[in-house]
Chains A and B, each alone.
Chain A
């Protein structure tokens, strides 16, 4: 197969828009693995699509994510509805068994906590600073006192020493 001709045929554009037939999709995914030219051409088309979408983006209102989280909980027991795509890995029965629970943030290194905690963190931060300043102050005071004791001892020794 002539790859350049295949890329020029418009099948890649049709695929990225999800309008390719099952047979075309199957063939494309197979060829994608074999030919880096196809992989690169697909990546560029996907980038083009992202660019259009980014230009037409609308900022979602606050609270929509919470709605989604609530909806996920409600949907947890309903049957799955995967979109038609050949890119999904089946995983077999074992994968189905393992997916009884929805791991929403499986790979993320971030965590979400309640906003009330920020006051606790602020208080801990302020207290730690107070303790740090206090400890430095008492350390310096202590050093000063020690120096005075040493000085007094020296003076006492001088008085007690017979001339």
Chain B
């Protein structure tokens, strides 16, 4: 089934336009969760896709999941925003949310959610996070794994 899905995803010819059609909404939703401002999120989306278009031919799109690659582009654009020293808003975002915005985060424990959100939205590395909260990298990865298990469970898989 997994292989079938993969084959299906690979049948459509890829271009910036097909990527935009398939992922712009998802990317805008993701960026909005980070910046919490619709206009700013749109600006970041424009910058992200512009950079994707510029690098399009240099990337081996067949080897990587398109969504993950696009998200890395977005994270790269958001890196300045996520840098606390440059943007005071980032400090607020880095804190775990009082009211998680979706069904996946709702079902995670505080610890799992903290780790997941800090990596997913604030683009921290596991090593960085381990150092920041004084826990081992192994534990961070384990909590991340548990967070993914919760996500999968939320979908009934």
Q: Which residues of A contact B (CB under 8 A)?
A: 8-11, 13-14, 16-21, 40, 42-61, 64-65, 67-68, 71-72, 75-76, 80-85, 87-89, 91, 95, 98-99, 102-110, 112
Is B32 located at the chain interface by the 8 A CB criterion?
yes
A21-B127 contact given A56-B30, A87-B59, A102-B54, CB 8 Å threshold: yes
Which residues of chain A are near B76, meaning CB under 8 Å? 81-84
Binary contact readout B6-31 vs A (1 if CB under 8 angstroms, 0 otherwise): 10000001111110100011111110
What would 16 more interface pairs be, CB under 8 Å, given A9-B145, A18-B123, A58-B25?
A17-B119, A17-B120, A19-B126, A21-B127, A51-B155, A53-B27, A53-B29, A64-B45, A71-B50, A80-B55, A83-B76, A91-B58, A102-B54, A103-B56, A103-B57, A110-B17
By Cβ-Cβ distance, the 8 closest A-B pairs, closest first, are A10-B141, A83-B76, A108-B15, A57-B25, A46-B65, A53-B26, A10-B145, A56-B29
Pick the residue among B25, B59, B72, B148 that contacts A45 (CB under 8 A): B148
Pick the residue among A10, A47, A54, A112 that contacts B142 (CB under 8 A): A10
Q: In the complex, how many residue pairs between chain A and chain B have their CB atoms under 8 Å apart?
A: 197
Binary contact readout B75-87 vs A (1 if CB under 8 angstroms, 0 otherwise): 1100000000000
Say which size band chain B's interface belongs to. 35 or more
Could you tell me the distance in whole angstroms from the C-beta of B80 to the nearest C-beta in chain A? 11
Which B residues from 139 to 157 make CB contacts under 8 A with A? 140-145, 147-148, 151-152, 155
Q: Can you list 17 A-B contacts (CB < 8 A)?
A: A9-B141, A10-B143, A10-B145, A14-B144, A19-B126, A45-B148, A46-B68, A52-B102, A53-B26, A53-B30, A58-B29, A59-B28, A64-B45, A72-B50, A89-B63, A103-B57, A107-B13
Q: Please determine whether B102 and A56 come into contact, CB atoms closer than 8 angstroms.
A: yes
Is B40 located at the chain interface by the 8 A CB criterion?
no
Which residues of chain B are near A18, meaning CB under 8 Å? 68, 71-72, 75, 123
Which residues of chain B are near A42, meaning CB under 8 Å? 65
Q: Please determine whether A108 and B144 come into contact, CB atoms closer than 8 angstroms.
A: no
Q: Please determine whether A104 and B17 come into contact, CB atoms closer than 8 angstroms.
A: yes
Main secondary structure on chain A at its contact with chain B?
loop
Q: Which residues of B contact A (CB under 8 A)?
A: 2-3, 5-6, 13-18, 20, 24-30, 32-33, 38, 41-42, 45-47, 49-51, 53-60, 63-65, 67-69, 71-73, 75-76, 101-104, 119-120, 123-127, 129, 138, 140-145, 147-148, 151-152, 155
Q: Please determine whether A52 and B151 come into contact, CB atoms closer than 8 angstroms.
A: yes
Q: How far is the CA of A9 from the CA of B95 in the complex (A)?
A: 26
Q: Please determine whether B145 and A106 come into contact, CB atoms closer than 8 angstroms.
A: no
A55-B46 contact given A83-B72, A99-B58, A102-B56, CB 8 Å threshold: no
